[in-house]
Amino acid sequence: MPFVDTSLLRVGYEDLNPQGRHAVVLVHGWPDSPRTWLQVAPLLVKAGYRVIVPALRGFAPTTFLREETPRTGQLASLGRDLLEFIDALGLEQPALVGHDWGARAVAIANGLRPGVSSHMVMISVGYGTNDPNQSLSAEQSRNYWYHWFMNTPRGREAVRNDRRALTRLMWDTWAPAGWYDPAEFDETAKAFDTPDWADIVIHSYTQRWNLSPSDPAYENDERRLHPAPVLSVPTLMLHGEADGVTLPSSSANKEHFFSGPYQRTLLPGVGHFPQREAPHAVAEAVLAWLQAH
C-alpha cells in the first residue's frame, strides 16, 4: 500500500487503475475501514475510473507524523484531511464518494473549497446534519445512544478497552440481521488497533455536540461550515431504507442546500452499510451519476 504525507498525516491508501480517465476517491466511515469498498471499487475500475481509497486519521495504516499533534476527531478535521490528501496526490476535481464519517468528510471538503470535486456522493448521512443545535426526534436520539455513551467515563472506557465488542454491536444493529460475514468484521476491525483510534473516536462524538473542546487549528474552518454552506457540486444521496442508526428521514428535504443537481435515492431492504450490503446497486448508482452530470 502506498503512503502520502499531508501536513499532519502519513496517509495509507489504495490506488487502483492509476491510468483511469477520472479519479474517484472513496472515503470510509465508522466503525469501518477502506475494506468497505472491496466490492464497489472493482466495478468502478471496470468502468474505466481511477479509484483511490484512503484510510482516515486514526485508522490503520494512516498515522500521525508528530506525537504532539492533537488527536482530534472533530468533523472539520476530516474534511481538511481530505483536501490535503487531494492536494498531496495532485488530483484535479476528483469525484468524492463517502460513507458515514466519509460522507461528512466529502461534504465538508466541498464546503471549504467550492469546486474541489466534480461530483459528490453521500451515503447514509444527509447534508446539513453537523449542527450541534439541530433538532432530533426521540427515535433518532435513541439511535445515537453511543454518542451519549461516549460522553460518560464508562463509555470512554469501552471505546478504549472493549472496542471489538462495541463496534461489533454497531454492525449487528445498524443493518438487517445476518448481513455480514464475521470474518470480514474481524479483518476490518484490525484498522481500529492503532494508538490514536480511541482518542479520535471519543473526541469526534463529544466535540460534535459541544461537549468537549474544539481544536483551535480548525477554528476558521468551523466558522465557514456553520451554518452549512450551499453547495453547487452535483450531489447524489444514497440511503438504506432499513438504516438502523441514521433514520432515512434525516436525509430528506435537503434540496435547499444545493444549487446544482441533487438527487436522493432510497435503497429498499438495505441498512447503514449500502456499499457492503448492496455493492452492485451502489456502484451502478454512482456510475450513473458520474455519467449523467
Longest pairwise C-alpha distance within the chain = 49
| Amino acid, res. 12 | G
Contacts of residue 237, defined as CB under 8 A and 6 or more positions apart, other chains included, come to: 121, 122, 123, 126, 127, 251, 254, 262, 263, 264, 265
Q: Grid cell 434540496 — which residue?
A: 255
| Amino acid, res. 230 | V
Determine if the pTM surpasses 0.75: yes
CA nearest neighbour of 79 among 154, 6, 16, 184 = 6
> Would you call the peptide bond into 176 cis, given omega within 30 degrees of 0 as the criterion?
no
Taking phi over 0 as left and psi of -120 to 50 as alpha, with beta for the rest, 26 belongs to: beta
Q: What is the mean pLDDT of each run of 10 residues along the chain (293 residues)?
A: 97 98 98 98 98 99 98 98 98 98 98 98 97 94 98 98 98 98 98 98 97 96 97 98 98 98 98 98 98 95
Give the C-alpha separation, 52 to 11, whole Å. 12
Give the C-alpha separation, 49 to 290, whole Å. 10
**Residue 12, H or E segment:** strand 9-16
Q: Which CATH class is domain 3-292?
A: alpha beta
pLDDT score, position 249: 97
Give the C-alpha separation, 233 to 115, whole Å. 7
Give the C-alpha separation, 199 to 40, whole Å. 30
pLDDT score, position 240: 98
